[in-house]
Amino acid sequence: MVWNLKKIASQRLSVNQEIIDKEINLNKEIDKLFKKSILISGSIGSFAILLYYLPCDLFPLFFSLGTFSFTLFGSSIELQPISQIYNVVCLIAELYSLGLLHIYLVKKLSVIIQFPREQNLLKELHKNELIKISLENFNSKEKEIGLNPYYGLSKAFIIGILVLNKAKAFLSNAIIKIVFQKFAGRYVLRLYTDLIGMPIYFFWNALATREVFLRAKYYMLSQNLIDLTTEYVVKKHGNNEDVKKILYELLQLISIKKRSFSSSHYVFSLKLLQSFDVPVISEYTISNNFIENLKKLPEDVAHDILLLFVTGMLIDGDLSKREIKEIKKIKEELDNHQPILELCDQYIIAFRKGEGETFVRNLFKE
């Protein structure tokens, strides 16, 4: 199933050649697509619950055929093969439908934003990253260039978080059922207890689609901004060895503060390292001296490094508490005033509206 979805995504997410009406309001079109996708996604989750439990409760004798029980660790376990097989079929149908929806919304979004264009030199890279996003594969290639957002965390902790994220819909449903049964008592039909999970799965499906949508949207919006800021800094400081030395510390710090893999940050990092001709380090160990190194740089150079820093932080369309805290820390510890640190809120608002490039160009003029 995954292979088939990947094939469909590869066919659909080719270089964008569809032209849209230049008179349309892009933000309104994006917002309309977002609301439509969320509604369909949640409905798929709710319908899957109905599709499974309604037949099981209407035809209990059929679904109980072949039931057998066995003892495991002193506990008796009952299995209903037909019911379990039907459950798997419904789950596959739900996941496949959700996958198709995500491919559709990423494609539609690429048409609205007109990305990537045929002349884009990195069009194949962008295509592959968008395919991964549409299939909810958020593990970017950052580790290939020595960057690790989970640096410093134990493997057990990381695995625990991943398992919890995968099981959150199931756990939420189980808890709600227990609470509902406790308050409603035995007088409520079992069907109603089962169907109470419909809004739970609506919510989690909608949340999954929201993440796919926002990752795809901000990946597309970030690319021209990445090109603009990178080319600007390279043009001014391309031969500056001090800038080259601080790049890996800058990129690893951003990655750690995100605490998640990011396709946008991968492309941003790759472009910076290649543009400054910095050799790839297989596994970079952060030295935690970013601020100290900044203080040693001339004020104008430090400003441009901080422009890269803030841009790298916000190209996912959000600033986490960790990222905001780090920006405040740098602002407090630097001796000189850096305007870009004061303008983070305005910068991210402009970026979310698709006006990040205009905002940065205005910074260049100041």
Q: In the chain, how long is the greatest CA-to-CA distance?
A: 79
Most confident of 56-60, 195-199, 205-209, 333-337: 205-209
pLDDT of residue 57: 81
Of the two residues 74 and 281, the one the predictor is more confident about is 281
User: Average pLDDT, stretch 31-47?
Assistant: 95
- CA distances to 86, 185, 197, 205 from 192, rounded to whole Å, are 20, 12, 9, 21
273 pLDDT band, cuts 50/70/90, is very high
188 pLDDT band, cuts 50/70/90, is very low
pLDDT of residue 181: 46
Of the two residues 279 and 68, the one the predictor is more confident about is 279
Spatial neighbors of 315 by CB under 8 A, at least 6 apart, are 218, 222, 225, 226, 262, 264, 265, 268, 351
199 prior amide bond cis, ω within 30: no
Of the two residues 180 and 131, the one the predictor is more confident about is 131
pLDDT of residue 27: 87
Report helix angle 299-314 to 241-258, nearest 10.
Answer: 30
Query: For residue 221, is pLDDT > 50?
Result: yes
Within a 10 A sphere around the Cβ of 138, how many other Cβ atoms?
Answer: 14
pLDDT of residue 1: 60
Query: For residue 25, is pLDDT > 90?
Result: no
Q: Coil, helix or strand for 185?
A: helix
Most confident of 20-29, 61-70, 89-98, 193-202: 89-98
State the pTM of this model.
0.86
- Average pLDDT value over all residues in the chain: 84
Q: Which of 213, 208, 222, 205 is nearest to 105 (CA)?
A: 213
pLDDT of residue 72: 67
Q: How many degrees, rounded to 5, is the angle at CA 164 between CA 93 and CA 69?
A: 65
User: Average pLDDT, stretch 338-349?
Assistant: 90
DSSP-derived secondary structure letter, 187? G
Q: Which of 100-114, 195-209, 279-293 has the lowest mean pLDDT?
A: 195-209
232 pLDDT band, cuts 50/70/90, is very high
User: Average pLDDT, stretch 199-208?
Assistant: 87
Query: For residue 20, is pLDDT > 90?
Result: no
Q: Which of 212, 205, 133 is nearest to 170 (CA)?
A: 205
Domain borders along the chain are: 2-11+25-212, 216-365
User: How many residues in total does the chain contain?
Assistant: 366
150 pLDDT band, cuts 50/70/90, is confident
183 pLDDT band, cuts 50/70/90, is very low
pLDDT of residue 180: 41
Q: How many degrees, rounded to 5, is the angle at CA 41 between CA 135 and CA 48?
A: 100
Helices (H), 66-122: 81-113
Within a 10 A sphere around the Cβ of 324, how many other Cβ atoms?
Answer: 14
DSSP notation for 287-308: -S-HHHHHHHS-HHHHHHHHHH
Query: For residue 197, is pLDDT > 80?
Result: no
